[in-house]
Every structure is written in C-alpha cells, then in structure tokens.
Amino acid sequence: MAFDISDFKLQRLVVEIRYEPAFLLWDKAGSIGVELRNRFPATKVRIVQPNQQQFSLDKKFAAGVQFDRTFLQGVYPAHNLEDIRTTSEAFFPIVIGALKISDLSRIGLLGVYEKRFESRELASEFVLKCQPSLRRGGKFFNVDGAKILDPEFFLRWEGDTMGCSIKLHSLEQRIEVEVPAELDDIQPIDTKRNVALLEIDYYAHSSTPISKFNAPAIIENWVRIIRRDLGGFVGG
Amino acid sequence: MAETATIVNLKDWRTTGGSSDSRENVRLKADIVNTRDASERAQRETKFEDLYSADTKSHALISRARELLHSAEQRAQKALELLSSSDEVGADQQIMLLQGDLPELFCCRDLSDGLATFVLALHYALYNQHGAPLNADQIFEVRRGLKHLRDNLFIDFKESLDLVDGLADRGLTPEAPETTVLSDVITNQSAEQGAD
C-alpha cells in the first residue's frame, strides 16, 4: 500500500536543541521565566528543579529549559505552522541569549502524526498494510490463528550530519477520570481511542554554531522535507 | 569509579524529547556518551545546505541572501586583487557594483537583526565616502564582514556591532549623516544640562 502522509494529522511537533551543559541556568532560571511571562502572558510553571524548568506557554504550547537541552512543543499546531513558527521565533532567542549558548550539539524536530480508527484491530491492520513484512500466520508459541496487534515498525536513517528515525505503530489510548463523590453533577470520564501513530524524528547531529540556527526556518524546511520524503521512505 | 551504574537506553538518548515524555531524567542517571564517533561528530559542522534545503519561502530568502553575500564578497576580493595590481579604477568599479547589491540584501533583513545592522552600516559607510575610493584595508574589512555574515547569517545585533566597529576602525563612517547631527545635538544638550 502506498503510504500517504496526507491521511495523517499532525498531533505534536517538538523542536529541541542540545548543547554543552549551560551552567548559567543556575543563575538565569528566574530571568528566563520572567522573559517568557512577558512574551507569553499565559505562561504557567509546570516543573521547577535546579537543572530543569518546564512551562506551558498557552493551551497549545509547552516548553522546557534544561541543563543541556531546551525544547518547544506544540500540540495540534496550525496546518501552515504559523503559530509554532512565531512562538519559536520568540522563545529560542530568550533561552539562547540568557544561557549564552554558542554551539548546538544537536537540533531535533519530532513530528507525531496520527490517524484515528474505530478499533484496535483496524489500527493494527493499517500498520500491517503499510508494512506487510510484519504479518504472521500459522502456529507460533503454541498459539494458533492469532492476530498481530499493536505492530510496530522502526527505522533509523543517518548520515554524517543529518539523520532521522521513523516509528510507525498502532496504539490504544485510554483516559479515565474519576470524579470525587462531592461533585455529583459531573460525569466521570472513561473513554478510549485507537490510533496509528507515525513518529518522525529529524535531526542534525553534528555541531551547529548558533549563528546558523533559525527555529522558524528549521520548522518550515524540515516539515516540508518530512512531507516530501516520507511516503517513499516508509513505502520502501 | 561509580559504585552503582544504570543501564541507559541510548535509543532514547538519540531521540528528540518533549514534555509528556519520561526521558527528561535519563540524562541525570548516568553520563551518557554516544558510543559512535561522538567526538568526530562534534568536530564536523552542519552546513547551511543541510539545515535549509526544502523548497520553502524561508529557504528561498536564505539562499538569496547567501548568494548576494557571496557575490559581494567576491567583488571585494576582486577589488583587492585589482588594487594590488594598481588598477584603482577597476577596484572602485567593483566596490560600486557591490554597493548596487546592498538594497536587495537589505530586503532580506527579516532573517536576522545582525544582517540588517551590518548591511545598513555598509550602505552608509560607502555612501559617506561621497565617491572617494576605499583603500585596501577598508576593502579587506568589508570583505571580512561579508564573509562572516555569509557563514553566520543569523547573528544577533550585538555580534554584528563588532563587524560595524571593524568598518569604523578602518576610517569608514557606518552611520547615517543624520545620526551624527542628532548625536551632536544630544551631546551638546547633555553638556549644557551638566553645566547648569
């Protein structure tokens, strides 16, 4: 089956930079937080530890600043990526400037694409159609006539400076929320969904001077490359 | 030697993380070293072409800016060569051609504050010569700035000031004429206030 990325919806996009340990994080964590709040007024602190802080910048975007890496994550970003590009344009210079980062040891862009299905079997069948080599039939491990469920396919493709890893798998997700008895007018939540997930991690793993890093351009270019090459690569 | 050790999954370490991920703490458990040619990899430098190569608007802008910077740098190099063979007219002509590329280069200013600052400074440095030719030192500095910018397109405002200072150190005036007048007015006002 020819693989078509347009069947999938971009669920999550993460841009991550890594660098040599940034000792200035111990001094600048507060000023980074203040700058982020000035730029993104809805900023809320999620995790605060000496060597890492995580923030939610608004409903769709979260960010983390750590001793040796920083990431920005967008959930269901706009199709033209304008929102995550604008956010990244404001976010990364704040961190890079505060931590005085001069070189990056790795730049990564993780795209998680999803396609929803009615059942776990249908999601598994989709992955098997994309990767027929994962199919099995007969009797194995004393089980006859069993079905492949939750198949998973992983490949890493790496060159001297750039690389990518691709993981295609099916997944059953469940959310269960119990409501305290005092809130008797609120219904508890117990729901499931089945998806085929395609996780593409595209990265530059050689040294990159900060003067070559432009987050919005990286997002635009790399997502375009992913959309362009993915079908041929997964299809083989 | 550590008394305990933790087995760390390097596959996770080679993966871009995010907030809903438990991988954040992996780094804390042990000193992770990529087993494959880590030092060699760090020595290699990512090229612009590796990072920005798709058929996108930003790529078109980055490519065009780098093309123009390259072309301007080549003109400066050519001017230096002509000057060393005592062809001052030829050298000046190359600088005039370089000057002609600056407006288009300025149109790429959205790429970085550093690019905008240096291009504007170079424009005024040449404008303020009022037709007088540049000497070899000045052309060398112009070429150095263009080359640095081509290799480091996204430099920030602060870093670009070093390049602008380089032009000023060679006797060029990289500011708008109005800025000089304004700066004189402000200086005089401050002096008067100080005297009061």
Residue B49 included in any domain? no
- Using 50 as the pLDDT threshold, list the residues of chain A that sit under it: none
Contacts of B23 in chain A (CB under 8 A): none
CA–CA distances in Å: residue B151 to residues A127, A182, A204, B70? 43, 64, 17, 10
In whole angstroms, give the CA distance from residue B136 to residue A220: 41
| Helix (H) or strand (E) segment spanning residue A103 | strand A103-104
The nearest alpha carbon in chain B to A93 belongs to B156
d(CA A53, nearest CA chain B) in Å: 11
Most B CBs within 10 Å: which of A221, A223, A224, A228, as the mutation test of the B interface? A221
Using CB atoms, pick whichever of B19, B52, B154 lies closest to residue A211.
Answer: B154
d(CA A14, nearest CA chain B) in Å: 6
Q: What is the pLDDT of residues A159-187, one digit of tens each?
A: 989 999 999 999 998 888 899 989 889 99
Which domain covers residue B130, as residue numbers?
54-182
In whole angstroms, give the CA distance from residue A219 to residue A199: 16
Is the same domain home to B74 and B156? yes
Is the same domain home to B109 and B36? no
Q: How many domains does chain B have?
A: 2
Residue B98 included in any domain? yes
Q: What is the pLDDT of residues A126-144, one digit of tens each?
A: 999 988 888 888 888 889 8
Is the same domain home to B72 and B17? no
Is the same domain home to B63 and B158? yes
Write down the pTM of the prediction: 0.84
Cβ within 8 Å of A, B 54-113:
54-59, 62, 111-112
Is the same domain home to B154 and B67? yes
Strand, coil or helix: B69:
helix
Average pLDDT value over all residues in chain B: 84
Is the same domain home to B84 and B141? yes
d(CA A113, nearest CA chain B) in Å: 15
Domain range summary for chain A, segments of one domain joined by +: 1-15+104-204+214-236, 20-100
- ipTM for the predicted complex comes to 0.82
Q: What is the pLDDT of residues B73-132, one digit of tens each?
A: 999 999 999 999 999 999 999 999 999 999 999 999 999 999 999 999 999 999 999 989
